[in-house]
């Protein structure tokens, strides 16, 4: 009964490949997010969707493309992977209000070689 689940947990791939990370939440939340955590643990938002509509799109290379088939799912596709894309990617969800806490998945550790 995991609230926010993302797959895979680990992803090791070579430069230039295309990969996807999937995320699903069963909390009934309207809003989902992708955050990137670098090797120094710094967290930065990448994208946010509310009811399948993109509402936050930070300065992220257009090689990164989120897709939300429904409000319970938010997937992240990355084209032409680069070494600098290596990080832990966290999916999260929340209700649509300013003080509503985020519920995070356990992360996907992406390693690009």
Other CB atoms within 10 Å distance of the CB of residue 35: 21
What is the rounded distance in angstroms from the CA atom of residue 60 to the CA atom of residue 27?
Answer: 27
CB 108 within 8 A of CB 8: yes
Question: Is residue 51 involved in binding another protein (CB under 8 A)?
Answer: no
Q: State which of residues 74, 90, 110, 112 lies at the interface with another protein (CB under 8 A).
A: 90
User: Shortest CA distance to 10 belongs to which of 106, 108, 89?
Assistant: 108
CB of residue 66 to another protein, shortest distance in Å: 14
- The encoded tokens of residue 1 equal 């009964």
Question: Is residue 57 involved in binding another protein (CB under 8 A)?
Answer: no
Q: State which of residues 4, 21, 81, 110 lies at the interface with another protein (CB under 8 A).
A: 4
Question: Is residue 92 involved in binding another protein (CB under 8 A)?
Answer: yes
CB 46 within 8 A of CB 108: no
Q: State which of residues 25, 31, 68, 75 lies at the interface with another protein (CB under 8 A).
A: 31
Site residues (CB under 8 A) for another protein? Answer: 4, 31, 33, 40-45, 48, 55-56, 90, 92, 94, 96-107
């Amino acid at each position: 009964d995991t609230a926010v689940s993302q797959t895979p947990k680990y992803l090791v791939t070579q430069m230039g490949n295309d990969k996807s990370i999937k995320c699903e939440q069963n909390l009934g939340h309207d809003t989902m997010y992708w955050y990137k955590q670098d090797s120094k643990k710094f967290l930065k938002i990448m994208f946010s969707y509310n009811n399948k509509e993109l509402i936050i799109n930070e300065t992220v290379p257009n090689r990164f493309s989120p897709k939300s088939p429904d409000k319970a799912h938010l997937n992240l596709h990355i084209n032409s992977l680069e070494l600098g894309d290596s990080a832990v990617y966290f999916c999260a969800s929340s209700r649509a209000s300013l003080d509503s806490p985020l519920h995070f998945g356990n992360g996907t550790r992406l390693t690009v070689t």
